[in-house]
Structure 1
Amino acid sequence: MAFEAHLSQALLLKKVVDAMKDLCKEVNFDCSETGMQVQAMDSSHVALVSLLLRESAFSEFKCERPVSLGMNVESLSKVLKMCSPSDTLKLRCNGGADTVNFQCEGSDDRIADFDLKLMNIESEHMEIPEQHYKVVAKLPSSEFQRICKDLREFGETMQVKASKEGITFSVQGDVGAGNVLLKPREADKPEDKVTLTVHEPVTVTFALRYLVNFAKAAPLCGSVELGLSPDAPLLAKYDLDNADNGHMQFYLAPKIDE
C-alpha cells in the first residue's frame, strides 16, 4: 500500500468535504508523511480553501511517498454518505492505481466499501504569505453562520467593521440596511466567547455568498477565527475539532469599490 489512512470517525472527513463542496468542484488531496493537504480556488478565483489534516488526526497513517489524490468533491461527498457518523473509515490507494478505496465500518459489523476513480487535476500549490492581521476576532461558529445567513436575505455585500468596542456585520439592500454587532464577551465555554485583538480598527467589504459558504464549516469547530486587514483577503479559520488535528482555512478577496 503506497497510502493508507484510518480515521476513527468518518464524520471528520464528512464535515470537511461538506464545508468545501459548494466552493470547489475538484480537488487534489496531497498526501505526505505529515498528513493530507488541500489547496483549491473556487471557479471564479475569488476564494481559496486550504485544508491541513495532520497525520495525528488519524488512528493510523502510512504514506510511503508523496501522492496526489485528485477527486471530484461531489462524488466524494456521495461516497461519505455511505458512512454513519460513528463509523470508522479506511482510505487506501496502491502506488500507481487509478482509484482510491474507501471502507466504512460500523459497530454493527456493517462494512461498506467503494472504489472512487481518481482524476488528474491541474493545480499549482500556492504559498500563502504569513499575514499579520490588524484585527483577529474569535467568535462562536454557529453565530457567524447565523449572521451570514440572516444578512444574506437583505443584500449581496457585507461590510465588516471591527474595533476594540466590537465587530459589526452590516448589509445594505433594496429593502433597507441591517447591522449585527458582537461585543467582546466572556463565557464558561471557550467556544461561546467573543474575543477581539485589535491593532487598528478595520472596515472591509466582502461578497456575502462566499461567507455563507465558508460558514457551512461551522460543524467542524465551536469557534471560528476571522483575520481582517484593509486591502487583504479575509481569513476564516476553523480547527478540526481541535488544533492538533489540523485546520481548514478560507480566504476571500475583498470587494473593491469600482
Structure 2
Amino acid sequence: MLEAKLEQAAILKRLLDAIKELVADANFECNEEGIQLQAMDNSHVALVAVQLKEEGFENYRCDRPMPLGVNLTSLTKVLKCAKDDDVCTLKAGGDNTDTLSLVYEARNTDRIAEYELKLMDIDSDKLGIPETDYDARVTLPSAEFSRIVRDLSQLGESVRIEVSKEGVRFTSEGEAANGSVLLKQSDAIGKVPKKEEDDDDDEEKEEKEDAEEDGDDDDEEKPKVKKEKKDKKKKVKKEDDDVEMDGDEEEEYKDKGSDDEGEEEQDDEDSPSKKRKRAASSKDKGKKKAKRSKDDEEDELPDGVRIEMNQSVNLTFSLKYLVNFSKSSSLSSVVQLMLSNDVPLLVSYEFGQGHIRYYLAPKIGDE
C-alpha cells in the first residue's frame, strides 16, 4: 500500500516537464525511504535520476517496496488537470494494483478530483552509479545556465566547457557563427560578514531613533508651557483693558482652563506609554530588518558563481541534452556542474523534496 501526499501538485508537474522529453516510460521505485526514478534515454547517452525523499511529503506511507511503471506522457496529461497549489495524493496497491490513483484537493474550496492511471510492466535494471571525485565543480544560478545553453544552441549543436583558473567558459562553434561565454569566480556567494556589519548599523540606527523619540517626548511638554504663557498674557491684557466678567463667565473660563489642563495632564500621562510603544515598535522594526537581512543572504547565494577545481577540464557535450536538463531550473535556483576528463558530466538540481540529477556522456573526437 502506497500513500504519498504532496503539499503542491506543481512539484510533480515541474519534474515531469523536465524529463518527459528524455524518457518515455519509466518505473517509479517506491520504498520506505521515498520515491526514486532512474532511466536512460533511447540513445543511451543521458541518464536521469530523481529522488523524492520521505520527509519531503506531508504524509508518506509505503508498506512494501513496489515499482510503478508509468507512461510519462499520460502522467503529464493527468497532472495538467490539477492546479499548481492543489494538494496531490498518490495512492497505489491494495485492491487496485494495476492503477495509480491521483487525488487533487483544492485549498480554498471543497473540490476534490480523483483520477486513475493504468500502470505498465516495464523491465528495467537499476544502474549502479559509482561515486566519483570530480576534478571541477561549478555552482551557478540555474537561470544563467539555462540562458547560456539556450543562446549557444542557436549557433551550433555542441558546446565545449572549459574550467580553468580564468573561470568556466562555454564555447559553441557553428557553420555561420561562433559564440563564447566566460563566467568568473564571483564574490556574491558568502556575503555574511557584510551582512553582520549591516546588522550593526541597523542597531546603531535603532539607538538613534530611540534617542530622537525620547527627545520628541520631552518636546511634548513644550506646548503646555507655551499655552500657559499664552493664557497669562490673555489674562493680563484683559485686566489692562478693565474687562469685567460675570461670575458665570469667570467659572466658565476656569472650567475650560481646567479641562485643557486635564487634557494636557492626560497627554502627559499617556506619553510614557506612547514612548514604550514606540520603543517596542522600533525593536520590532529592528527584528524585521534582521530577518529581512537573513532572507537577503539566502537570496544572494544564487547570484554568484563558485568554482572549485583540482585540475583544468575541457569537455564537449551535446547542447540538445543540456537544453532539456535546464528545464529543471523551475525546481531550483541553483545548479551544480561536476566535471572530470573522460567522465560523464553531472548536472544536479537540489530542491526541498529531494533532487534531480542528469548524467551526460561527453563527445569524443568528431562524433
Q: Structure 1, residues 161-194: CA drift from partner, whole Å, max 9, x if none? A: 0113211110000112110111111325112221
Partners of 1:190 and 1:175 lie apart in 2 by: 37
**2:331 corresponds to which residue?**
220
Partners of 1:222 and 1:54 lie apart in 2 by: 19
Q: Structure 1, residues 228-249: CA drift from partner, whole Å, max 9, x if none? A: 1110000000012x3xx22100
- Give the CA deviation at 1:109: 2.0
SS of the residue corresponding to residue 97 of structure 2 reads coil
User: Aligned ranges for residues 54-133 of structure 1 at < 5 Å?
Assistant: 54-95=53-94, 97-107=97-107, 108-133=109-134
Instruction: Give 1 or 2: higher strand fraction.
Output: 1
Partners of 2:126 and 2:79 lie apart in 1 by: 26
- Give the CA deviation at 1:208: 0.7
Instruction: Give 1 or 2: higher helix fraction.
Output: 2
- Give the CA deviation at 1:102: 0.2
Partners of 1:246 and 1:214 lie apart in 2 by: 16
Asked if residue 16 in structure 1 is aligned to residue 15 in structure 2, the reply is: yes
**2:139 corresponds to which residue?**
138
Partners of 2:9 and 2:302 lie apart in 1 by: 23
Q: How many residues align?
A: 254
Partners of 1:60 and 1:164 lie apart in 2 by: 47
**1:202 corresponds to which residue?**
313
Partners of 1:166 and 1:79 lie apart in 2 by: 44
**Larger-gyration structure (1/2):** 2
Structure 1 runs of 4+ aligned residues shifted over 6 Å read none
Q: Which amino acid aligns with 1:191?
A: P
**2:259 corresponds to which residue?**
none
Q: Which amino acid aligns with 2:356?
A: M
Q: Which amino acid aligns with 1:255?
A: K
Partners of 1:138 and 1:63 lie apart in 2 by: 35
Q: Which amino acid aligns with 1:62?
A: R
Q: Which amino acid aligns with 1:223?
A: V
Partners of 2:54 and 2:144 lie apart in 1 by: 30
Q: Structure 1, residues 194-252: CA drift from partner, whole Å, max 9, x if none? A: 10000001000001100000011110100000001110000000012x3xx22100000
Query: Structure 2, unaligned stretches of length 5 or more?
Result: 189-296
SS of the residue corresponding to residue 56 of structure 1 reads helix
Partners of 1:225 and 1:210 lie apart in 2 by: 16
Partners of 2:83 and 2:187 lie apart in 1 by: 36
**Does the Cα contact within 8 Å between 1:103 and 1:111 map onto a contact in 2?**
yes
**2:246 corresponds to which residue?**
none
Q: Which amino acid aligns with 2:100?
A: V
User: Aligned ranges for residues 177-256 of structure 1 at < 5 Å?
Assistant: 177-187=178-188, 188=297, 189-240=300-351, 242=352, 245-256=353-364
SS of the residue corresponding to residue 131 of structure 2 reads coil
Partners of 2:164 and 2:331 lie apart in 1 by: 27
Partners of 1:216 and 1:76 lie apart in 2 by: 18
Q: Which amino acid aligns with 2:82?
A: C
Query: Structure 1, unaligned stretches of length 5 or more?
Result: none
Q: Which amino acid aligns with 2:180?
A: N
Q: Which has the higher contact order (CA 8 A, sep 6+)?
A: 2
| Identity %, equivalent residues | 45
Q: Which amino acid aligns with 2:102?
A: F
Note the aligned Cα RMSD (angstroms).
1.0
